Structure 1
Amino acid sequence: MKINVVPRRNARGGRSAGEHLIAALRCLYRHAEDARLIDPADNPATKVATPRRLPSTRRAVADTRLAEINHVAATTGNDPALDSLILRLHTETACRRGGALALRPQDLDPDQCLVFLREKGETVRWQPVSPTLMTHLRHHADQRHAPREGQLLRYTDGRPITTRRYDHLWTRIGKHLPWVATQQISTHWLRHTTLTWVERNFGYAVARAYAGHTSQHNDAGTTTTYVRANIHEVAAAVATLTGEPHPLA
């Protein structure tokens, strides 16, 4: 699997492909155990070590660099308003692409400036946002006729966007900012940027809540069971980040 993997610019020698293969085989043999086709002691998959995952190359983007990214998005392309809104949404909420694409008009709470995010692993959370972002999200939904229960982010003709919009956005930004293409900056870098800032200024507990992390697996320690931030503390971080008062802060 590692030898035959398709090489990409960010390839790491097929480590991820090997890891996925072992995970898939372990799943297969686990089903065989459950069906009593093999004895647990005879399961060969448990004897194969999982490849150690390498540290991510993503990191927080500097303020000046982030300003350059936003400037290019707002001054180029066929829909600068949409691209600017996408970047602002991810920068404020630190949400993943799936969370932004799943956002619906009915997920907006303008009175308390909250958005309901649904992300991977079926996790859900109410995330505070600035009044400015809330205003633009509502305006975008109204202007592009997004159904209340349908996807919020849409093109000018009313079609819902897909992950391809993200790909085209970063490709375009990379053409204007060569360092974006060289370092393969993506939307997930914005998540790193915001959460790093929150952790440095408001501590680990608030950053963890801001990110929507709930799993105890690979966590910083058992202390996190007792040290948890609430939505008001997250709102305070948003208020400081954006420089706007928040109703829950």
Structure 2
Amino acid sequence: MSADPAAVSAARQVLTHLGVTLADLQSQPIGAATLPTVAEYLPRVIAAAGPGARRTYGTYWARMAAAWGDRPVNAVAASDVEAMKQEMIATARSRRNSRNGRHAGEHVIAAARAFYSRAIADGLIDASASPAHRVAKPRRLPSTRPALTPHELEEINAVTRTSGNDVILDALLLRLHTESACRRGGALALRLIDLDRTNGLVRLTEKNGVVRWQPATLDLAEHLYEHARVRGAVLPTDQLLRYRNGQPISSRRYDHLWKRIGERLPWVAVHGVSTHWLRHTTLTWVERHFGYGVARAYAGHTDSPGSSTSTYIKADLHDVADALSAMTGQPHPFANTSDTSNGRRQISCPD
């Protein structure tokens, strides 16, 4: 049966409009893959990701490349993502603070979603075609991390001041995290230019690239400056926290610090106490004495989504300085009041 000439003519017009020739159709069989493979596309995803995403998702992206590397990005099914999630849950390394692989499973889904969100943004696939977004993430369980008691914090500070090969650095780290409630990444990113000694402020760059000025006591600000100056920080962009040999510290210093503390205080090792517990301790104290709004600002969560009530309970830099002043018993230039005690029990920081 011969083709209808009118239909053929109409088909040619459609192809011309689409910019497709008969040679294109003959050289590309129907169903053949025209999209990059997972392995081919992954370098573009990594290049577009921030350092935090690369650090968090890098292991899982490598797993994706190993398992699905030769498949086009549109040839991965939701069941493949689900199977990888279950595999990671089953093989997750057991730690003191682990949740039976739950976090590993959550990170698999998050990494796959980040990969396919980039593919959607690049126009490779439609949003409805993402297999990762069709797999439910494990529900985040409530944190089991309690605030440290004043006695526990005293014990940690005492061990820090009396052990190790650089007690000045370690005591300064604990004091910085206790006063500012900053994360490890925020402390490691501190540079000379991020220190305002006159006004008692440190500029923190933390999760998702959020930058904020956080009050610190004038005494701590001066100690931070002297530490950096004595240990070789000269340029405004030089990292502030340094080893005695002048080299900038890395996250390994924290690992060694808590390992040493855990060897001397068994309860620290048993419960997996880490730097983040200091943040939790400080923010709990602030919330109990100054309320949720101030604690939220102290934590740097002022831009995070929350209930509609949070719109009306925002706190500012002066409120955070008030809380810091009351907690440490030291006046602060931005504090609204000169009363630094108000009858509140203070958190002890290492000298």
For Structure 1 versus Structure 2, the TM-score category normalised by the shorter chain is: over 0.9
1:32/1:112 CA distance change after superposition, 3 Å: closer
Residue 226, structure 1, aligned to residue 300, structure 2: no
Q: CA deviation at 1:33?
A: 4.1
Residue 251 of structure 2 corresponds to which residue in structure 1? 163
Letter in 1 for 2:158: H
Distance 1:43 1:108, change over 3 A: closer
- Paired residues in the alignment total 247
**TM-score of the superposed pair, with normalisation by structure 2:** 0.67
Q: Does 1:191 align with 2:279?
A: yes
Query: What is the deviation of 1:240?
Result: 0.5
Mark the runs of 5 or more structure 2 residues left unpaired by the alignment. 1-87, 336-351
- Aligned match for 1:127, one of 205, 214, 239: 214
Q: Distance in 1 between matches of 2:121 and 2:225?
A: 49
Q: What is the correspondence of 1:1-249 to structure 2 with a 5 Å cutoff?
A: 1-34=88-121, 37-147=124-234, 148-217=236-305, 219=306, 221-249=307-335
Q: Larger Cα Rg: Structure 1 or Structure 2?
A: 2
Cα distance, 1:141–1:43 mapped onto 2, change above 3 Å: closer
Distance verdict in 2 for CA 1:29–1:99, change over 3 Å: closer
Cα distance, 1:58 vs structure 2: 1.3
Partner SS for 1:49:
coil
| Counterpart AA for 1:118 | T
Cα separation, partners in 2 of 1:204 and 1:171, compared to 1, 3 Å: same
Structure 1 segments of 4 or more deviating over 6 A? none
What TM-score do you get using the length of structure 1 for normalisation? 0.93
Specify whether residues 41 and 114 from structure 1 end up closer, same or farther in structure 2 by C-alpha distance, changes over 3 A only: closer
Unaligned runs of 5+ in 1: none
Q: Which has the higher contact order (CA 8 A, sep 6+)?
A: 1
Give the Cα–Cα distance (whole angstroms) in 2 for the partners of residues 132 and 232 of structure 1: 18
**What's the offset of the Cα at 1:43?**
4.1
CA RMSD, 1 decimal: 1.6
Report the secondary structure of 1:3's partner residue: helix
Pairwise CA distance, 1:132? 1.6
| Alpha-carbon contact 2:203-2:214 (below 8 Å) kept | yes
Q: Deviations over 1:22-57 (max 9, x none)?
A: 222333444444455545445443332211111122
**CA–CA distance in structure 2, aligned partners of residues 109 and 34 of structure 1:** 40
CA distance in structure 2 between the aligned counterparts of 1:206 and 1:165, rounded to whole angstroms: 31
Return the letter of the residue paired with 1:227. I
Q: CA deviation at 1:245?
A: 0.9
Secondary structure in 2 matching 1:2: helix
Distance 1:48 1:146, change over 3 A: same
The equivalent of 2:60 in structure 1 is none
Q: Deviations over 1:104-160 (max 9, x none)?
A: 122111111111111121111111111221121111112112123211111111111
Higher mean C-alpha deviation, range 24-33 or range 80-89: 24-33
How many Å separate the matches in 1 of 2:96 and 2:302?
32
- Structure 1 pair 201/2, CA: closer, same or farther in 2 (3 Å)? same
Instruction: Classify 1:224/1:76 alpha carbon distance in 2 versus 1 (closer, same or farther; 3 Å).
Output: same
Q: Name which of structure 1's ranges 168-177 and 5-14 shifts more when overlaid on structure 2.
A: 5-14
Partner amino acid, structure 1, of 2:253: R
Query: CA distance change for structure 1 residues 177 and 26 in 2, over 3 Å: closer, same or farther?
Result: same
SS, match of residue 142 in structure 1: helix
AA aligned opposite 1:7: S
